[in-house]
């Protein structure tokens, strides 16, 4: 929470400056002139008084009436010229302010026109028109940082459109008899892939995109997607929400990502039967990966060679059946890894992993008949807490060597399984 405070303070300062500028430009020109003249006169009086006091009030030589009139004329001309200069400066500045405001208004109008045109193209039936709409919307998001989130929301909504094939019983639906080949040859499938690639391009530092789309919210509610490839991207202060993803044997790939200050959430409508979610080789700093009441079957969760620095990985109140969790060679430096789910035939592999502080917690129910493997782990700094499942000694599938390793791990953390 604290790391977001500077950003929010900066936003408030910018908003205050915009309000002050708006109040200034909305005042009549005469008010501006009088205000500036008053400030100038006040400054002259204060400055003169200070100089007079510093000089000790020097005595002035007497002057004749003619000389006094000449001096008065000179002073009057100087004051008049000064006032004229001040008025000219105020008028010029006011004209510039009004011109800049008009330019901003015109730019905003053009941006809204571009948004409407891109939206209209996305709503057309022709694949070429929709492709042009995706390109136009992504380009608009690059040029319009103030409303980039709105553009991304529309792009994500387009990705969420149900796929349809030429053999579908009704447009917008995927037929139960449709094959993967039917889907991959459909225009809606190609458009979905292209829209995802436009997002990925703005998150991959090596893709050469002009703008980076970090710090945004992405919501993927997809009934059918075979692969969402976000590998090698940078996700900073972002939020990714996954809903309604029930496609069989699909892959969501975050491998080799750099993730910082980001929340990635899979909600209760997410299942992904037989699929894979990969964070292998990723570097995660102060981020949260949440599986909230997710019910999965046959899913592989890959965290191999992960570098985890603080944050949370949480499987909360869901069910995992015939699953496989792999964290071979992963490094956990602080943070919390917690599994609080109904598990049936789920394997957890931490072979060769390194733990340096943090919390490792298993709150499994359902009498899991899988494996919890810690062979070759490195406890440079034992986790602050390890909570292992109560049934671990009772399950005959664990050999004596594995039970010994588990006991040593628990003993190092002063917690008994």
255 lies in the same domain as 167: no
Q: What is the 3-state secondary structure (H, E, C) of 137-202?
A: HHHHHHHCHHHHHHHHHHHHHHHCCCCCCCCCCCCCCCCCCCCHHHHHCCHHHHHHHHHHHHHHHH
Tokens coding 69: 């009139």
Residue ranges making up the domain that contains 281: 217-417
Residues 259-294 have pLDDT tens digits of 999 999 998 878 788 889 999 999 999 999 999 888
pLDDT, residue 363, reads: 73
137 lies in the same domain as 270: no
If one counts every other C-beta atom within 10 angstroms of the C-beta of residue 315, the result is 28
242 lies in the same domain as 378: yes
178 lies in the same domain as 239: no
Q: What is the 3-state secondary structure (H, E, C) of 54-76?
A: HHCCCCCCCCCHHHHHHHHHHHH
Tokens coding 146: 């103030």
225 lies in the same domain as 360: yes
Domain boundary among 158, 179, 213: 213
Cα radius of gyration (the chain): 33
Residues 200, 205, 210, 211, CA torsion sign: positive
pTM exceeds 0.75, yes or no: no
359 neighbors 382 (Cβ within 8 angstroms): no
Compute, in degrees rounded to 10, the torsion defined by CA atoms 136, 142, 146, 151. 40
3-class SS of residue 230: coil
pLDDT, residue 218, reads: 95
149 lies in the same domain as 227: no
pLDDT, residue 102, reads: 78
pLDDT, residue 417, reads: 34
pLDDT, residue 300, reads: 94
Total tally of structural domains belonging to the chain: 2
pLDDT, residue 376, reads: 65
pLDDT, residue 1, reads: 43
Residues of the chain falling short of pLDDT 70: 1-37, 39-84, 86, 165-185, 222-225, 245-249, 364-417
Question: Burial code of 367-381, b = ≥16 C-beta within 10 A, e = fewer?
Answer: ebebbbbbeebeeee
209 lies in the same domain as 221: no
pLDDT, residue 409, reads: 54
312 lies in the same domain as 378: yes
Q: Beta partners for 387?
A: 361
């Amino acid at each position: 929470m604290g790391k977001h405070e500077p950003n929010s303070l900066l936003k408030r300062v910018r908003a205050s400056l915009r309000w002050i500028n708006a109040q200034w430009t909305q005042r009549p020109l005469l008010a501006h002139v009088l205000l500036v003249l008053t400030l100038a006169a006040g400054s002259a009086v204060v400055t003169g008084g200070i100089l007079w006091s510093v000089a000790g009030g020097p005595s002035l030589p007497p002057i004749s009436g003619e000389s006094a009139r000449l001096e008065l004329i000179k002073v009057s001309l100087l004051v008049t010229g000064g006032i004229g200069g001040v008025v000219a400066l105020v008028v010029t500045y006011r004209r510039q302010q009004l011109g800049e405001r008009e330019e901003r208004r015109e730019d905003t109008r053009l941006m809204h026109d571009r948004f409407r045109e891109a939206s209209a193209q996305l709503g057309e039936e022709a694949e070429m028109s929709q492709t042009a709409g995706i390109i136009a919307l992504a380009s608009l998001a690059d040029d319009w940082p103030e409303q980039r989130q709105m553009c991304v929301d529309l792009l994500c909504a387009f990705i969420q459109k149900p796929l349809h094939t030429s053999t579908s019983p009704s447009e917008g639906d995927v037929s139960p008899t449709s094959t993967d080949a039917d889907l991959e040859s459909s225009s809606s499938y190609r458009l979905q892939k292209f829209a995802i690639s436009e997002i990925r391009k703005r998150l991959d530092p090596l893709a050469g995109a002009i703008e980076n789309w970090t710090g945004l919210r992405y919501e993927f509610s997809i009934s059918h997607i075979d692969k969402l490839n976000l590998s090698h991207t940078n996700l900073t202060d972002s939020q990714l929400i996954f809903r309604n993803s029930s496609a069989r044997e699909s892959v969501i790939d975050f491998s080799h990502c750099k993730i910082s200050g980001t929340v990635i959430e899979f909600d209760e409508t997410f299942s992904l039967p037989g699929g894979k979610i990969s964070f292998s080789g990723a570097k995660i700093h102060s981020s949260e990966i949440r599986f909230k009441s997710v019910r999965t079957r046959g899913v592989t969760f890959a965290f191999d060679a992960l570098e985890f620095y603080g944050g949370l990985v949480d499987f909360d109140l869901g069910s995992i059946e015939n699953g496989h969790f792999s964290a071979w060679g992963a490094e956990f430096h602080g943070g919390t890894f917690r599994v609080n789910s109904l598990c049936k035939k789920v394997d957890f592999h931490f072979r060769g992993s390194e733990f340096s502080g943090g919390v490792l917690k298993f709150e499994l129910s359902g009498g899991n008949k899988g494996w919890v493997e810690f062979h070759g782990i490195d406890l440079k700094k034992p986790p602050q807490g390890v909570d292992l499942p109560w049934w671990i000694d009772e399950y005959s599938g664990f050999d004596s060597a594995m039970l010994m390793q588990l006991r040593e791990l628990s003993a190092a953390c002063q917690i008994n399984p």
